């Protein structure tokens, strides 16, 4: 059986900042919509579209949304490990070893870990639905689990048809961010939409650089990712666009009454190193730290943007 360290590696911790980031932005946008941190003074908020809600309840909803997002991300990682492992896609790898392909854990055990993670996300989601009375969240949650599983699972995984970035953008960008804002204050703002697009692009950047590293092995295994479809040079340029455009999107909250959103621009310092590596032609092992550093850039951007929106 796999060791604890191997299970932690299998959970792919470097991808988890992308789970927390949209919840941070969504929460910041929610507080910005109800008057920012000044709402903490009065102890409750009463947006026009919803009854008064206590600050403690809002923070509970945000925590539950974070658990849902983390559960889906970890479940997706284990599902990807399982599906790619049994297909043989991970038999030859440049990056860290996978539980299934390496034989560290039996396939059915990795599959079970994926569904346990999905179960945790579902449990938190049910509590969130009950607390927020957001029944529309049920079909959204079901679609999110299906998207996580069929990324590399099933007979025709969409991750093998260059559609990975599309679904990542939708679920770890738009759905996670705007869903968080809505379950908190029953409304969606222009700042929340801009933030959702920004973190969706960052998530696509992480996936792009991961697949950029794996172009040779994915091509040999018959896995057509967007990076494989674009080719090495174009994939690098698209990665650069995914990282740069979120900073242009800061103009939206600034123009819509949140000038402190400019704080997120400070995270650009963290983006310099991964951009240099990717645009400079880094290959193989050199791209592994880029995945982590891009995720940390996204998390820092999100935290600073959330703060700027809530001020």
CB 270 within 8 A of CB 296: yes
Residue 45's pLDDT is: 52
Q: What is the mean pLDDT of residues 278-292?
A: 91
Q: How many other CB atoms are found less than 10 A from the CB of residue 129?
A: 17
Nearest to 18 by CA among 225, 166, 201: 201
The whole-angstrom separation of Cα 155 and Cα 141 is 22
3-state helix, strand, coil in the chain (%, to 5): 75, 0, 20
Cα end-to-end distance, the chain, whole Å: 49
Percentage of the chain lying above the pLDDT 90 cut = 64
- The pLDDT tens digits of the residues spanning 271-280 come to 999 999 999 9
Checking if the pLDDT of 311 tops 50, the result is yes
Domain boundaries, the chain: 4-310
Mean pLDDT of the chain: 89
Distances (CA, A) of 195 to 27, 45, 252, 298: 11, 22, 9, 11
Please count the other Cβ atoms lying within 10 Å of the Cβ belonging to residue 301.
29
CA distance 218 to 214: 6
Nearest to 59 by CA among 87, 33, 20, 31: 31
In this predicted structure, the answer to whether residue 203 has a pLDDT above a threshold of 90 is yes
Contacts of 232 (CB under 8 A, 6+ apart): 212, 215
53 phi, psi to nearest 5 deg: -130, 135
Which band of pLDDT confidence, cut at 50, 70 and 90, is reported for residue 309? Answer: very high
Residues 69, 176 contacting (CB under 8 angstroms): yes
* Tens-digit pLDDT profile for residues 6-29: 888 888 888 888 999 999 999 999
């Amino acid at each position: 059986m796999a060791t604890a360290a191997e299970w932690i590696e299998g959970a792919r911790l470097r991808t988890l900042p992308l789970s927390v980031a949209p919840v941070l932005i969504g929460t910041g946008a929610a507080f910005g919509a109800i008057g920012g941190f000044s709402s903490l003074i009065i102890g409750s908020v009463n947006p026009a579209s919803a009854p008064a809600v206590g600050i403690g309840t809002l923070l509970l909803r945000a925590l539950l949304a974070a658990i849902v997002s983390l559960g889906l991300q970890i479940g997706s990682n284990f599902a990807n490990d399982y599906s790619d492992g049994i297909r043989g896609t991970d038999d030859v790898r440049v990056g860290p070893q996978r539980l299934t392909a390496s034989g560290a854990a039996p396939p059915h055990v990795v599959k079970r870990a994926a569904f346990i993670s999905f179960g945790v996300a579902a449990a938190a989601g049910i509590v969130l639905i009950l607390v927020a009375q957001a029944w529309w969240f049920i079909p959204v949650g079901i679609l999110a689990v299906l998207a996580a599983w069929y990324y590399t699972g099933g007979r025709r995984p969409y991750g093998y048809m260059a559609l990975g970035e599309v679904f990542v953008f939708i679920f770890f960008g738009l759905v996670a961010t705007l869903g968080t804002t809505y379950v908190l204050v029953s409304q969606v703002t222009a700042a929340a939409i801009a933030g959702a697009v920004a973190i969706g692009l960052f998530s696509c950047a992480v996936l792009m650089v991961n697949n950029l590293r794996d172009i040779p092995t994915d091509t040999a295994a018959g896995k057509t990712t967007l990076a494989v479809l674009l080719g090495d040079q174009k994939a690098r340029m698209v990665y650069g666009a995914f990282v740069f455009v979120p900073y242009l999107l800061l103009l939206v909250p600034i123009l819509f009454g949140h000038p402190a959103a400019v704080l997120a621009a400070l995270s650009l310092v963290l983006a310099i190193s991964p951009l240099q590596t990717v645009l400079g032609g880094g290959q193989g092992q050199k791209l592994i730290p880029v995945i982590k550093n891009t995720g940390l850039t996204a998390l820092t951007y999100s935290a600073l943007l959330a703060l700027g929106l809530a001020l």
